[in-house]
Chain A
Amino acid sequence: MPADPAFTPRSVTWSAVRDGIRDAAGLPALMLMASLIGVGGLARDVGYPMGAGVLSTVLIWAAPGQMVLFGTIASGAALPAVAVAVSLSSVRFLPMTMALLPMMRRPGTPTWVLLLVSHYVAITAWVHSMRVMPDMAPERRIPYFFGFANTVLIAATIATGAGYYLIGQLPAALAAGLLLTSPLFFLVNMVASAKQAVDWLALGFGFGLAPFAIAIVPAGLDLLVEGLVGGTLAYLIHRFLQARRAKADEP
């Protein structure tokens, strides 16, 4: 049989899927469950059925976007305004997916596979993949990603349904702790995966600009402006440092 570069032997594929499941079925799955419990409670607050909350996890697959969806519905905003708010909160998926796909794609990977991969892109799977994939054999990356991402998605979906019934019964301090889980886990993960100066600069600018962006930029656009300004500044400083180092290395 002629070797098709897009496909690899089944044994390789399944061992990579298993690795992905194993790496997800621990802290990442637990953290996402804690975050999505809160989202289930929000769906209930706006009077939606449990199935709609669960569907939002499977389809939107972005806890911040889901919080915006149910939050703006609760505020009585018109539906087109709800859609705009959700869309603006999900802009980050454009640079995230663009950064991840070239690492996973191989010659001949069909577009529908890439579209399916893109649906699973969310903060947890993204940060994890960006950290582990550079050291992984290219043919293992897509199956590994599906194993990892499906595991966290299933765990989060179950948690959304459970949260729909549970969240109202929790003491306030514990409910606050659950809502802290996602920002805390994202932050520690980003610190863990930052390697080069450009990563630290991007994190620093992202945090440093946040209070100003929230205060100055019209609501909804703040994250977009902050990401573009902060990321570009980090990149320019990175280029400047590189150029200076190259000059210093000249004989």
Chain B
Amino acid sequence: MIAWLEHATGGLWPYFVVILFGFLPSEIWRWLAVFLARGIDENAEILVWVRAVASALLAGVVAKLILTPTGALATVPLVWRVGSLLAGVAGFYLARRSILGGVIAGEIVLIGAGLAFSG
């Protein structure tokens, strides 16, 4: 019964899974932060450290999405996945600090490589 329910796709079960096993385990960090941030001043020194940890974590998320890709992204070789990120940063500066310029440059490199390798 339980085993069958684990990955059932009918009725309301998928919605319960999203709420209980997706929403709650994720949301708990945001709620916890609300209480931990109480009484911390905007200019508190500890926030410099907290922000550095958050930035390093975000960089880690980006690196992980590129180094261990899922789905169609995995069909593009690693060199080109990393190359598209570098092209994005280069495009950002060449287009005079334009975020759109960076995104377009990175996408051109990746989609170009994708077309070349998927034949």
Contact = CB atoms under 8 A, between A and B. Distances in A.
Nearest to B84: A180
A41 B72 CA distance: 11
Interface in A197-241: 198-199, 201-207, 209-211, 213-214, 222-224, 226-232, 234-235, 238
A79 B3 CA distance: 10
A182 interface: yes
Interface in B71-105: 71-73, 75-76, 81, 84-85, 88-89, 91-92, 97, 99-100, 102-103
A31 B103 contact: yes
Interface string A57-85: 00110101111010101001011101110
A211 B52 contact: no
B71 to A, nearest CB: 6
Contacts, number: 318
Say whether chain B's binding surface is mostly helix, strand, loop, or mixed. Answer: helix
Interface class of chain A by DSSP: helix
Contact of B40 (A98, A185, A203, A229): A98
Name the interface size band of chain B: 35 or more
Given A90-B25, A171-B118, A174-B114, 10 more contacts: A52-B17, A60-B26, A90-B26, A102-B40, A102-B42, A173-B118, A176-B114, A178-B72, A179-B69, A227-B56
Interface of A: 27, 31, 38, 41-42, 46-49, 51-52, 55-56, 59-60, 62, 64-67, 69, 71, 73, 76, 78-80, 82-84, 86-87, 89-99, 101-103, 105, 111, 114-115, 118-119, 121, 123, 126-127, 130, 171-192, 194, 198-199, 201-207, 209-211, 213-214, 222-224, 226-232, 234-235, 238
